Amino acid sequence: MDPRLAPLFAPFSLRDLKLANRIVMAPMTRGYSPHGVPTDEVAAYYRRRAEAGVGLIITEGVGVDHPAALGGSGVDGDNAPHMYGSAALDGWRHVVDEIHAAGGAVMPQLWHQGVMREMGTGPHPEVASVRPSGIWGPLDKTAMVSPDYLANIAQKPGRPMTDEEVVDVIEAFARSARWAMDVGFDGIAIHGAHGYMVDDFLWEGTNQRNDRWGGDHIGRAAFAVELIKAIRREIGPEPVINFRFSQWKQQDIHARLAETPEQLGEILGPIADAGVDIFDASQRYFDKAEFAGSPLNLAGWAKKLTGKAGQTVGGVGLSSGVYDSRKDGGSGAALANVHKVAERLADGEFDLVGVGRALLHDPAWPRRIREGDTLLPYDEASRHVLTLNWRGKNGKSRWLAGTTPRTDH
């Protein structure tokens, strides 16, 4: 192995979480779990990545035990997995066993779509979506959603959530976390990013409340704090909790939760104190400095401000970020930035490295890195692998036209 890449292959240990290396498969939504039940195909898909040497797999977003958790702008129909119900939990047990048999570790990404869920979709189309302030967000920003979706969802404001409804969602996360630990997962990952429910409370564009769940940036973190406390109460002190957050939102690619390191510390500090162990800072480009005057990226700041572990992501092994490659139909491979991320890892800026599209396209990516094989360029057709059932109303993929899916995924 090229010694410059060795930091990626150093083991990582945090309480009862023991990882063979620092490579983390980033959560990527699929659409392959009919009625929310992960199949043998799902287990085989993740097992292939573990066999090739991924240290930790974070699954696709998994719906928590709440009727409005899942729906459109995730995966249409009822094909996104659930973390409730005996059939889904049995399916997950098999997925976890397969990953463990291959020497890997896995956390489910617990997900509630919040304002992003289209009314009338998902496992409970009869149930209205729940939104902290009734709104989807500002409509005049650079949104990363399809025009069809936007027309359907954003113009239909609802009402703010009641206190009871807020607590129901928190309890749904806690229940699903408990069941996930019961089936053998190695910890819990929370989707607190990209404009979904947890982020809807964090962001002023979707949270305009003035009660205990809102106010300023500190008040808007109260939901995440109570959520983590509730999960901790359910799963106990040992299991590791990984919390994903982002500045950007699908409603507004330029949104920011925090304009300064001080603000970021005020938001993340109480969330860390509530029981988070790893902050997964979602960026489109890991090498982008987050605040002027320092080269630290968002994960670096999260680690520095909270003292917790940091996990970075964004374009590792590829020359363009997640939205740019969608626009361009793909992305070149970029070994140079794998060297760069390994160097920053060795410097202690962050502890873990998330890899998304490169691992979606090429299950053997970690082996290729270790053995010095040429990296493959990313083809957007690989997105079909995940979004086979992610269709618009005309039955066509929302994201692709005229591309050929790989079948050896």
Ligand X SMILES: Cc1cc2nc3c(=O)[nH]c(=O)nc-3n(C[C@H](O)[C@H](O)[C@H](O)COP(=O)(O)O)c2cc1C
- Which run of H or E residues covers position 190? strand 187-191
- Minimum separation from the CB atom of position 139 to ligand X (A): 23
Binding site for ligand X (CB under 6 A): 26-29, 60-61, 109, 191, 193-194, 244, 282, 313-316, 318, 321-322, 355-358, 383, 386
Residue closer to ligand X by CB (options 68, 214) is 68
For β-strands 240-246 and 352-355, DSSP reports them as unpaired
CA separation (Å) from 142 to 63, 253, 274?
Answer: 27, 6, 33
Q: Which of 45, 84, 196, 378 is catalytic?
A: 196
| 3-state SS track over 209-247 | CCCCCCCCCCHHHHHHHHHHHHHHHHHCCCCEEEEEEEC
Active site residue 196: yes
> Which one-letter DSSP state was computed for residue 143?
-
- Minimum separation from the CB atom of position 337 to ligand X (A): 10
Instruction: Identify whether the C-beta of residue 37 lies closer than 8 Å to the C-beta of residue 63.
Output: no
How many Cβ atoms are within 10 Å of 237's Cβ, its own excluded?
7
Residue closer to ligand X by CB (options 208, 319) is 319
Quote the CA–CA distance of 157 and 153 in Å, as a whole number. 8
- Minimum separation from the CB atom of position 262 to ligand X (A): 26
Q: Where are the alpha helices (DSSP H) in 54-158?
A: 86-101, 147-153
Quote the CA–CA distance of 40 and 291 in Å, as a whole number. 44
- Minimum separation from the CB atom of position 157 to ligand X (A): 25
Instruction: Identify whether the C-beta of residue 127 lies closer than 8 Å to the C-beta of residue 68.
Output: yes
> What is the torsional sign of CA 95, 98, 100, 102?
negative
Residue closer to ligand X by CB (options 264, 358) is 358
Residue closer to ligand X by CB (options 194, 232) is 194
Q: In the structure encoding, which two tokens stand for residue 218, read together?
A: 């500190």
Residue closer to ligand X by CB (options 93, 409) is 409
Residue closer to ligand X by CB (options 186, 380) is 380
Instruction: Identify whether the C-beta of residue 25 lies closer than 8 Å to the C-beta of residue 56.
Output: yes
- Minimum separation from the CB atom of position 383 to ligand X (A): 5
What SS3 state is found at 131?
strand
Residues involved in catalysis: 196
